[in-house]
Structure 1
């Protein structure tokens, strides 16, 4: 059986960087941070905490009568998914039964309807109410966002939800890639969303001692991946989506092809629940290269997972050096989490969208605020300023997670 080539025909994103995939990329390229002091919508505040919080109104895409079905995570998901559908030219296919039946949704989220869960606990244990809101289960379940996307797009093919912490959406994209390549669907809308900026969730992350303290004078600079001064991650919320499609389907529709998804590699450290392992990460990157039929020297840019933690950045730098070498041998590497924070289940998809745009624009977003790179890492982290007018033919996006899950995605320029 011949394998289908898989191409990308639509992008969507919403994060603290802004609304829309293009806005997110232009702000990342300019080094404009979406990180600021966290402000919660009730009396339970966390003074002095920073986050990459979406503080602008979301687009009005859901009827008021349907809103009780939606946790914030599903609203972010549909905002991103609807943009990707529109760009792909698939926004209105109500009368095309064959197309709808051959289309699916693969979606990732780490914590699902976290805000609905917390609201229910407050209602019961703080407010003393006897009941929670009627649609709490529908809004809370991890597959709610995927289901809402599928219903609104009319997609009747396979709908899968992946929940593997910080690799959730990268895993969703990678498995969707395999699903199309092996002929199980013509197209899959893939991505992820996360909305976990609640008092309880942020407090739990704080208890793990991995959150970066606020830079009081410049909160936007609080996340510093690959820096000698790095001291933790900054949580964020986001939704991001890509429309994946078989090449034959995209060409038959006359769709604009943005890039080709060429390889996916996955692995598990099988070592520690929170401490990353460079060897495990390297296995995922090597698997992606083999899957794409590429050599390490073919990759011009890596969007790193690096979240700004001491152990995490060290392991990733070591794994990149194991696979790609050091100095000028290695590709350019940057972490955009310095700007949009760590969006957990949405991170892989958001960073994949930015990687696609870097390839298309031949411009690399910087690792912002990297005034003092860790001298232990012999890699070019595109510190402080973007690099434009590059000659990139293929790029990789890395995602690594608590639990030891690793995923690497490779895109390349589309050549018919």
Structure 2
């Protein structure tokens, strides 16, 4: 049941003050409800750094005051967002009607029964980039709606490669050669991604394994498939880079922002990161503004099979206002709002047509490359126990990259740990 205003006031106060909204209470102390599945909504999300979402919701609230949306922003850190959301959902609370969740959480939340399945015919999913829809499905059903997508890109110092008469790499071998030979000539580190043991390392590791032709799990988390020659090849690519020095030791402490700053401050030849880096690295205070380019991530023999990032919108299974919530999902995934997701939020939209819009491509020149990367990407390993899977992957791969374990032994160990996770009662 939904928390009463008295019970929830203390815990909600900080978030609601920050969101500039309040909860409407009835004279009995409970929140008012409609009996037809319609009424006011609460949307919970991680921190909205750009502030665009508030403006988008303001337009909804002016048009539909009886279904006003209160925005609750949790901390920016993904693990804290997941912890707070899952605690609320696990308790059976209907405090949150709509959840903006990381794409990797969809299978876990759906398997727990926390999400209300969606009628796919109600939403324009055929207009979305096809791979993003897969992030929102579990057990053959649509449990969320793609809202923002993402795929890793390779940023490179175009000025340096041009001076050397070199083209950006399309394979791992080319990346390694350039990182080993060109970077030192210019006092640069070779290559970095997100290699601290956290969610980012899971993404980088899964990209390497997938690009080598392997996988971590299959059958929506029911079968462990990581013990393969392809997985060993992927882990060996990352571990070998650190061993041979073209991935610097300091990169083992990098998350998104640390790696971005290293590239943006002119200390790195190649960077694997998300599209948001493009705008920041192009600003006047960037040491690489006008000096870098972007291409798809390389793989063993050509473009990589990347990992889809982004977020999905889901409806709390205990929400009393599911009809209003479904209308809000339709609004937030409409072409008009999706355009604002890109232009005001600098986030990659899920609508396919926007990636070929000439005006948007002029403003965001990486869009064609990003579209290519998204179409080649796949979701992170799906599992009802995703958080345990995530922790196992990042811990084992970090040990391999830190040279504490060989790639062969690391993959064997990861397979054992995942078998325990998958088959636990």
The reply to whether TM is greater than 0.5 is no
Give the TM interval when normalised to the shorter protein.
Answer: under 0.3
Which protein is bigger by CA-based radius of gyration? 2
TM-score normalised to structure 1 length? 0.26
TM-score normalised to structure 2 length? 0.25
More helix by share: 2
More strand by share: 1
